[in-house]
Structure 1
Amino acid sequence: NDVTRGKTKPEAPRVIPWFRRSFVKQGQSVCKGRWVAVRYGNRIAYAQWEDVGPFVTDHYQYVFGNERPRANLNQGAGLDISPAVRDYLGMKGGKAYCDWKFVEAREVPSGPWRLYGDNNTFVQAKRGSQQARSELK
């Protein structure tokens, strides 16, 4: 995670590729809400980054580099995904291997991931345009 105890981690500007263009203020995450593409087999789902942990929250070499996830209490999981993403990808059982990467919102194709969630950038944009139209009436 890029924030700990209400402060931006010192390595964040150096290791997060979009940090400089997204930084707003000290202690506000530039990762939360970012889009990720998760690939399992020949399917790809898109989801928004929520947080890290609960076991390892300081492994930027994995999140933004080339290291494998550290051993942890969660059977070495490098990514926990929502049941909706799991089901969309067709993952079976409690542990599966997948690839993932951060993507820009403009790279997120149409799909169910654009339709739901209060923090979803597409849902927020749609609400904003609907509100603007209703104010014009």
Structure 2
Amino acid sequence: MATTFWVGEIFDPNAEDGSQVESAYDDRWLDHYGGCDGVVTAGNCDTEPRTAANGFFPTRMTPRENPFYLDLPYDDVGDEVANRQRASVVPWASDERYSARVSDPGFSLLKNRWVRMLLADKICYGQIQDAGPGQYDDAKYVFGADDARPANDRFNGAGMDVSPALNGCLGFAELDGENDRIDWQFIDDSAVPPGPWKIIVTTSGVTHES
């Protein structure tokens, strides 16, 4: 299952992971993205429908980073277990572009990585910009080869959150539901085809201010 989240969303102000003002990799996600990825109503950042007419981009703001973003339940920087394991579980950790920085606590092997998603006959692409939902060291689900189910038991057992742009691109049944089942896989950036997901490509690194 996949749910929808968006930059600027605050769905539980009392929960440690209840806000998308910041992400697992960026303490200033809202600022760096350019503001609420939706519509501000009475001071709240709400989502909105996205359509192909404008490439599934937000209608009330201009993003500075890729609006096709997602999370997976593996925080390889902030979670102690995930960080300790990442050299052995992340498939591309030994690749030349990553191997020299595996021991760098300020570098993520997952942030900005591309993912291919499939729902029915629709295929869309996005970049990882956060970790979750509900779990942060679920290596078996994220990297396992045996089709393991997510360890998360919240949000209908979702194993991924997707942005409003991906919600619209994939044709989710609801703007903010939790019943859409998708297939996904990691994909190298060189294999990502042209599309609205490549209008803006996020390249920023980890920003932790404390």
Q: Same fold (TM over 0.5)?
A: yes
Measure the CA separation in 1 of the matches of 2:82 and 2:135.
17
Q: Which has the larger radius of gyration?
A: 1
Unaligned runs of 5+ in 2: 1-74, 205-210
TM-score computed with the length of structure 2 as normaliser: 0.53
Measure the CA separation in 1 of the matches of 2:155 and 2:81.
26
CA contact (8 A) 2:82 2:136 kept: no
TM-score computed with the length of structure 1 as normaliser: 0.79
User: Is structure 2 residue 94 aligned with structure 1 residue 20?
Assistant: yes
| Equivalent position SS for 1:113 | helix
Residue type matched to 2:166 in 1?
A: V
Aligned to 1:90: 171
CA contact (8 A) 1:38 1:45 kept: yes
Measure the CA separation in 1 of the matches of 2:172 and 2:77.
31
Alignment partner of 2:131 out of 52, 67, 70: 52
Aligned to 2:141: 62
Residue type matched to 1:41 in 2?
A: A
Per the TM alignment, residue 73 of structure 1 is displaced from its structure 2 partner at its CA by: 2.1
Aligned to 1:40: 119
Residue type matched to 2:104 in 1?
A: Q
CA displacement, residues 60-102 of structure 1 (integer Å, 9 cap, x when unaligned): 1000013101242222101110010110111112120000111
User: Is structure 2 residue 81 aligned with structure 1 residue 81?
Assistant: no
Residue type matched to 2:194 in 1?
A: S
More deviation, 39-48/5-14: 5-14
Q: How many residues align?
A: 120
CA contact (8 A) 2:93 2:109 kept: yes
Measure the CA separation in 2 of the matches of 1:77 and 1:33.
21
- Which gives a bigger RCO, structure 1 or 2 (Cα 8 Å, sep 6+)? 2
Aligned to 2:43: none
Measure the CA separation in 2 of the matches of 1:4 and 1:99.
26
Per the TM alignment, residue 9 of structure 1 is displaced from its structure 2 partner at its CA by: 1.4
Give the share of equivalent positions with the same residue, in percent.
Answer: 34
Kindly report the root-mean-square deviation, in angstroms, between the aligned alpha carbons of the 2 structures: 2.1
Aligned to 1:125: none
Runs of 4+ off more than 6 Å: none
* Bigger helix fraction: 1
More deviation, 3-12/89-98: 3-12
Residue type matched to 2:161 in 1?
A: D
